[in-house]
Amino acid sequence: MTILSSVGNADTPPVNLMGLADGVTRAPLDLAETLQLVADTIVESLGFEVAVINLVDDDDTALVVAAVSGPDEVRQLLLGRRQGNEGWSKLIAASEPWGRLRFLDHNTAPSDPSDILTWIPDLPLSDDPNAWHPEDALFAPLESATGRLLGMLSVDVPRDGMRPGPETRHALEAFAVTAALALEHATLATESRRGAQRFTAVFESSPVAIAILSADRTIERVNDAYCRFLQRDRSELLGRNPMDFTHPDDRKLTEAASNAARAVPAPREPTQPVEKRYVLPDGSIAWGRLQLAPLNQADDRGILVAQVVDVTDRKRSEARLVRQAHFDALTSLPNRGESMARLRRALADDVDAGAMTAVFFCDLDRLKLVNDGHGHAVGDAYIREVSKRIRAGVRDEDCVGRLSGDEFVVVLSGLRSPTEAIGMAGRIIDGVRQPLRLGGASFTPSMSIGIAYSAGPGTTADELLAQADAAMYRAKNVERGAWQVYDPSMSGSAVAQLELRHDVEAALREQQFVLHYQPIVRLGDRAIRGHEALLRWQHPTRGLLMPGQFLDVVLDSEYESPVTDWVLQQATWDAAHLKDQTRVSVNVSSLQVGRRDLPRVVEAALARAGLTPDRLVLELTEDRLLSRTDGPELLGRLRAVGVSLALDDFGTGYAGLGYLQRFPALDVIKLDRAFIAGLGREPVSGHIVRSVVELARRCGLRLVTEGVETEQQAADLRELGVQFAQGYLFGHPVPVEELCQPERGVSR
């Protein structure tokens, strides 16, 4: 009984056996030829009319007839047919072992297994017990070395009509072994080929960048992900050494990983991954997590598989976190923590080297006015530009850091002489002071610098910074936009200044600021024509403070604008209640004039007090307004409110004539007291006053002379043609209560 086909339809079309069978483990053509040769040899040499070889299919659920030797009608009937494993299992269970062979006697054969069709040859029946019965079957399981079933070899119709004897059986067993070896070899080859195909599929489709590196460390093969990662075509990569694309600083790291992967004896596991930088065609950097693994095959010794996971985004995120922790987001300069860490390192290194460390505490003057007048976007651009100018004034090895909104620190290490630091301080101040145009407005930044030097191994970073801070306060008190070197006497002053800065908010909240008024008189009859409002601070513990004791602290704090607003509100309220209905003058710095909201603040103060604009004079102080290209526009907006504008301290600094030329909105000039003090003693002073009187007359301006203290000065001024004057001769600044009895306090 030769096994034919599977359940169902015996007319099922044969399966194509070019390489065994479709849907079956496909093998090269020489396997089919080998199996056919085995079947033919069995028929020719062992005396059987039919030999059939079946193969297990891919799903391991059935066997397929792969080779048939016998009559053509038998070949056509059997070749390519499928038959189920369950039927084969029944046949094997019912068969008798003959060594490697299995013999199924027709007397014990199961009747018509449900998934097996049988072919019964047309043979004569014999009473001889050794005669071959048409329903007998002889077959041999074809197994791999591990016992896995690969197929089945069966024979039928012995020519002598007898069951085969021992010699034939042994020969048939040998053929079965041959067929099994051929099948196992083909299976292994197929699996190898499939493994290669799977590797190729995984290699090419993997999102991980993979390259095969030859023994000479050049690239043999890369996948698409590797090309994408390095942003290069395959043609640019094949035959190249990965070192060609490695960042120079990471080449030693890569070399060490490569040597470890090629160590002798060869490692069986991949090397520890390393994170390294790759240089892309445009010069930018990509980060990759590289892991190297040897192929571990005898004929591939020295060949490595390189896998690179793109970690660029993670590295950039880590770098951002580091920058956020150690660097200022606006300027990219080291922040306070990082600056102090670098200062500590510099102090330690300089002690070892016998060198000197210097620290600059740099404070940007009146930054809040830039923010208030032009918005924080302009203020941020202002800070960024100043930071660049500071950086440009020092050496590459020096540290420039940002401590807070308007405070910077510079750490200079390795100095041999204090003069090196002083020269750099001067360069920084000059560089920062250059005109700057942002957002349609012009600025002249100013920075004050305090300098402190290390005094040996005992100096700490905190002490040195505090000393530089104290020196900076002294620089501001002496002259803004200058530098001062620390000496011990500054510490007490710095502490006092710091305490005052903290007290400004309370002074505003608790109405500790007060205004005193000094009269402005007409020289001819000494009639009072106005009053200048002068700020005082009634400090709860220090008593009444004059402007020289606190004004710099206010001007360099965030409270300059709130204090200015308070002065305007209080002065207009007081003026509205003066009995003589004279004008009141209020000092406004040029930085306050730069506030875009100042006209609105003035109008609101006038409206609240019920004071007409013609009774308010704004006295402009300092010279910085002259450098602003938008200066005429700013003064024009104030003049449009209806108030008068006066130029204070005329004749000093760069101001004076430059103001008169650029700002036609001015109404009053106040001649500085320095020119009055020399009257009667210095002829030049008289000539200057006479010239200014004539200049004011021709320009249509009202002239007020300041600092008149003697009757002789008053007489000289009348003779020179001066009409209005102010000074101790006519009255000291006094509280408003001494001028009238108004309702006290600003209407809220």
Domains of the chain and CATH, by start: 2-194 (3.30.450.40), 206-317 (3.30.450.20), 327-488 (3.30.70.270), 501-738 (3.20.20.450)
Peptide bond into 435 cis (omega under 30): no
The strand pair at 447-453 and 483-485 is best described as: parallel
pLDDT at 656: 63
pLDDT at 7: 31
Evaluate whether 151 touches 144 at the Cβ level (below 8 Å): no
pTM of the model: 0.50
What are the beta bridge partners of residue 505?
none
Nearest Cα neighbor of 482 from 604, 595, 362 is 362
Cα–Cα distance for residue pair 721/707, rounded to 1 Å: 17
Place of tokens 């007048």: 373
pLDDT at 301: 64
The alpha carbon of residue 190 and the mean position of all alpha carbons in its chain are separated, in whole angstroms, by 51
pLDDT at 494: 59
Evaluate whether 137 touches 103 at the Cβ level (below 8 Å): yes
pLDDT tens digits, residue range 158-191?
999 999 999 999 989 888 888 888 888 877 777 7
pLDDT at 599: 93
What are the beta bridge partners of residue 621?
589
- Where is 698: in which H helix or E strand? helix 683-699
Nearest Cα neighbor of 104 from 113, 92, 95 is 95
Backbone angles phi, psi at 44, to 5 degrees: -75, -35
Cα–Cα distance for residue pair 693/650, rounded to 1 Å: 12
Query: What are 584's two structure tokens?
Result: 């009141």
Evaluate whether 305 touches 212 at the Cβ level (below 8 Å): yes
The alpha carbon of residue 154 and the mean position of all alpha carbons in its chain are separated, in whole angstroms, by 74
pLDDT at 732: 94
Query: What are 667's two structure tokens?
Result: 């109404």
Cα–Cα distance for residue pair 22/5, rounded to 1 Å: 16
- Where is 278: in which H helix or E strand? strand 274-279
pLDDT at 492: 58
**Which segments in the chain show pLDDT lower than 50?**
3-29, 298, 654, 741-748
Residue 481 region by backbone torsions, left for phi larger than 0, else alpha for psi between -120 and 50, else beta: left
Evaluate whether 534 touches 517 at the Cβ level (below 8 Å): yes
pLDDT at 107: 82
Q: Is 744 exposed, middle or buried (0-12, 13-18, 19+ CB in 10 A)?
A: middle
pLDDT at 10: 35
Nearest Cα neighbor of 534 from 587, 477, 576 is 587
Positions of E strands within 572-623: 583-589, 616-621
